């Protein structure tokens, strides 16, 4: 057997081995991800979700205040024009 043929065969075998190893890791990772999805979320996630909800409520309040100020400002401008 030619030495170059041996090198090619070794490279092919290594490549096939890497492909099988990558497939195994991907399947193993997907299985672990499914198992983790069934489990309850970590307490940190729950805390962060609550914080996000609180921040959303605060943003709504600030938007309402901004709209009210804009409306009152418009009314004041109209009153000044009427004078």
Collapsing DSSP to helix, strand or coil, 56 comes out as helix
> How high is the pLDDT of residue 57?
94
Angstrom distance (rounded) from CA 27 to CA 35: 12
- Predicted TM-score (pTM) of the model is 0.41
Angstrom distance (rounded) from CA 21 to CA 29: 12
Q: Give the tens place of pLDDT for each residue, 40-82.
A: 667 888 899 999 999 999 999 888 888 887 777 778 878 878 8
> How high is the pLDDT of residue 7?
92
Q: Give the tens place of pLDDT for each residue, 14-36.
A: 999 999 888 888 777 766 665 65
Q: Select from 57, 35, 37 the least CA-distant residue to 45.
A: 37
């Amino acid at each position: 057997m030619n030495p170059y043929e041996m090198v090619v065969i070794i490279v092919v075998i290594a490549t096939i081995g890497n492909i099988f190893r990558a497939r195994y890791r991907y399947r193993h990772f997907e299985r672990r991800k499914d198992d983790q999805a069934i489990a309850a979320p970590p307490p940190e996630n729950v805390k962060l979700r609550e914080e996000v909800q609180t921040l959303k409520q605060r943003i709504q309040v600030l938007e309402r205040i901004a709209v009210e100020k804009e409306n009152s400002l418009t009314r004041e401008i109209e009153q000044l024009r009427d004078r």
